[in-house]
């Protein structure tokens, strides 16, 4: 499969748009048409669907709505590639996206090229609101780039031969970090949420004040080596550390370790990643754990998960473009954990906070108002991004969210604890 290249336009947003579009296509370059068509579970989507859906977003909300006389590339595609926008009408069932064997991957890539070229060709005609939607669409596609990788990982894990998407990263020396240190916070009034002029998703605001009680937050995430101690101590067999729903999930699903872990034939653990199955790196951050597992581990060590407000207060001064994040199409795995504080990259960090609206939150007008607000029920917030998050996509105020049993994303654990009385 040939990479598709787009000539970058000069203004920054145009360059970003062209770069984001090109990266999505580079990520799928190793895939066959069959690889790109299969759906491994209802929570995941085929790679081909991700490529087409992100194009549908630009075609619908930018080209169709703001370019007079624009004609849809294919009138069947809105039904196939709408995700959850009720205002856009009927759509193909999410759990059956893997049945869409046609259009082919080549046809979807041609659709992408047509949409990209149409946006760039009509750039000068776009009203300011449409340009804002292009920016939203770029961040939307970056979200799907991470989903694309995690969905490919899950798909390949279901293949008995466990293929690799990319070769293994160059082996780094394993340096087991020192014991977790603690960053103390005296408590008091803090401001959280996005309040600047730069881009943010609607769920990140409004900026508002919160009361933090005295607490401490860990200076790094939990490692694989530390997690194996939890397993060896019967962590998955002892109900007293688990929330009721979590314990029911463990029993029902037969959970005994993080997703993609397996005990090796000669002893020791292995993990499956985008580079295939490899020996477990004890120094790397534990990943592919659910909220239920994260909460149980925290209970086991006598700690808790941080609130999202505590996390944001601690990360506010950190470089959101730092850490191990996605820079291009190539090997993706969490690097060995660092002893110094690093709040961005490697693994998404579960918080103990429910995903609910901030005070004063209002969804946007129109179909794009369905982007975040309608999902503020039954899910928990994650912070910090991962090794599969495109660099430049994150902020301290960024709120990711998943259901407590889900763990096919690069999700990990940072601990917190209370300090005395408020």
Residue 308 reports pLDDT greater than 70:
yes
For residue 323, which phi and psi values (nearest 5 degrees)?
A: 75, -175
DSSP characters over 394-409: --TT--EEE-TT--SS
What is the percent of the chain with per-residue pLDDT over 70, rounded to a whole number? 94
Degrees (nearest 5) of the Cα angle 218, 220, 225?
110
Lowest mean pLDDT among 6-15, 125-134, 194-203, 221-230: 6-15
* Residues forming a β-bridge with 263: 269
Pick the CATH number of 182-418 from 1.20.1260.10, 3.40.640.10, 3.30.2310.20, 3.90.1580.10: 3.90.1580.10
Terminal CA-CA length for the chain:
60
Report the pLDDT value the prediction gives residue 197, as an integer from 0 to 100.
84
pLDDT (mean) for 393-401 = 97
- The H-or-E segment that residue 152 falls in is helix 128-157
Within the chain, all domains assigned CATH 3.90.1580.10 are found at 182-418
Tokens 């259009």: give the residue: 103
Closest of 325, 314, 347 to residue 392, by C-alpha: 325
Contacts of 224 (CB under 8 A, 6+ apart): 269, 271, 280, 281, 282, 283, 284, 285, 286
Torsion angle, alpha carbons of 346, 351, 354, 357, to 10: -70
Report the pLDDT value the prediction gives residue 174, as an integer from 0 to 100.
67
- The mean of the pLDDT values for the chain is 93
Cα–Cα distances in angstroms (integers) from residue 283 to residues 5, 172, 320, 334, 337, in the given order: 38, 11, 23, 10, 6
Lowest mean pLDDT among 3-17, 84-98, 394-408: 3-17
Within the chain, all domains assigned CATH 1.20.120 are found at 12-157
Residue 5 reports pLDDT greater than 70:
no
Report the pLDDT value the prediction gives residue 168, as an integer from 0 to 100.
79
Count of all residues that appear for the chain in the document: 422
Tell me the fold of 12-157.
1.20.120
Closest of 286, 299, 294 to residue 311, by C-alpha: 294
Closest of 324, 305, 312 to residue 395, by C-alpha: 312
Closest of 140, 144, 142, 158 to residue 35, by C-alpha: 158
Contacts of 110 (CB under 8 A, 6+ apart): none
pLDDT (mean) for 304-332 = 94
Q: Sheet holding 380-383: strands in order across?
A: 400-402, 380-383, 348-354, 411-412
pLDDT (mean) for 97-102 = 97
Lowest mean pLDDT among 129-133, 354-358, 366-370: 366-370
Report the pLDDT value the prediction gives residue 176, as an integer from 0 to 100.
84
**Which is it for strands 182-185 and 411-412: parallel, antiparallel or unpaired?**
unpaired
Lowest mean pLDDT among 104-118, 127-141, 161-175, 330-344: 330-344
pLDDT (mean) for 207-228 = 97
DSSP characters over 331-397: ---PPPPPSS---SSSSEEEEEEE--PPTT--PPSSGGGGSSGGG-SS-EEEES--TTSBTT---TT
Torsion angle, alpha carbons of 240, 242, 245, 251, to 10: -80
Report the pLDDT value the prediction gives residue 338, as an integer from 0 to 100.
56
Report the pLDDT value the prediction gives residue 287, as an integer from 0 to 100.
97
Q: Dump pLDDT digits (tens) for 152-200.
A: 999 999 999 999 999 877 666 667 889 999 999 999 999 999 988 899 9
Q: Dump pLDDT digits (tens) for 377-391.
A: 999 999 999 999 999
């Amino acid at each position: 499969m040939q990479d598709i290249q787009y000539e970058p336009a000069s203004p920054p947003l145009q360059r970003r748009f062209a770069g984001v579009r090109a990266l999505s296509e580079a990520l799928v370059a190793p895939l066959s048409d069959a690889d790109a068509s299969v759906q491994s579970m209802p929570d995941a989507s085929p790679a081909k669907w991700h490529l087409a859906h992100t194009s549908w977003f630009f075609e619908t909300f930018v080209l169709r709505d703001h370019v007079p006389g624009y004609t849809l590339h294919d009138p069947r595609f809105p039904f196939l590639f709408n995700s959850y926008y009720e205002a856009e009408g009927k759509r193909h069932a999410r759990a059956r996206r893997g049945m869409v064997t046609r259009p082919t991957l080549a046809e979807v890539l041609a659709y992408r090229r047509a949409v990209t070229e149409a946006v760039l060709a009509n750039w000068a005609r776009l009203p300011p609101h449409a340009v804002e939607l292009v920016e939203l669409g770029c961040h939307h596609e970056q979200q799907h780039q991470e989903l694309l990788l995690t969905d490919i990982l899950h798909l390949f894990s279901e293949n008995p031969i466990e293929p690799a998407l990319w070769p293994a990263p160059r082996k780094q020396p394993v340096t087991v970090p020192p014991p977790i240190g603690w960053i103390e916070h005296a408590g008091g009034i803090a401001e959280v949420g996005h309040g600047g002029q730069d881009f943010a998703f609607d769920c990140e605001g409004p900026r508002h004040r919160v009361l933090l009680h005295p607490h401490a937050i860990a200076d790094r995430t939990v490692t694989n080596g530390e997690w194996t101690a939890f397993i060896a101590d019967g962590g998955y067999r002892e109900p007293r550390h688990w929330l009721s729903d979590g314990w029911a999930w463990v029993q029902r699903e037969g959970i005994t370790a993080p997703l993609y872990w397996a005990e090796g034939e000669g002893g020791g653990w292995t993990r499956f990643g985008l580079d295939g199955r490899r020996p477990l790196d004890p120094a790397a951050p534990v990943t592919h754990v659910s909220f239920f597992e994260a909460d149980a581990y925290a209970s086991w060590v006598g700690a808790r998960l941080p609130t999202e407000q505590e996390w944001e207060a601690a990360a506010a001064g950190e470089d959101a473009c730092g850490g191990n994040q996605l820079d291009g199409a190539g090997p993706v795995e969490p690097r060995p954990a660092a002893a110094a504080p690093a709040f961005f990259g490697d693994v998404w960090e579960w918080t103990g906070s429910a995903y609910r609206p901030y005070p004063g939150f209002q969804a946007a007008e129109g179909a794009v108002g369905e982007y975040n607000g309608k999902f503020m029920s039954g899910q928990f917030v994650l912070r910090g991004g991962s090794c599969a998050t495109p660099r430049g996509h994150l902020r301290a105020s960024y709120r990711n969210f998943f259901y407590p049993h889900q763990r096919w994303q690069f999700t990990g654990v940072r601990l917190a604890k209370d300090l005395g009385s408020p």
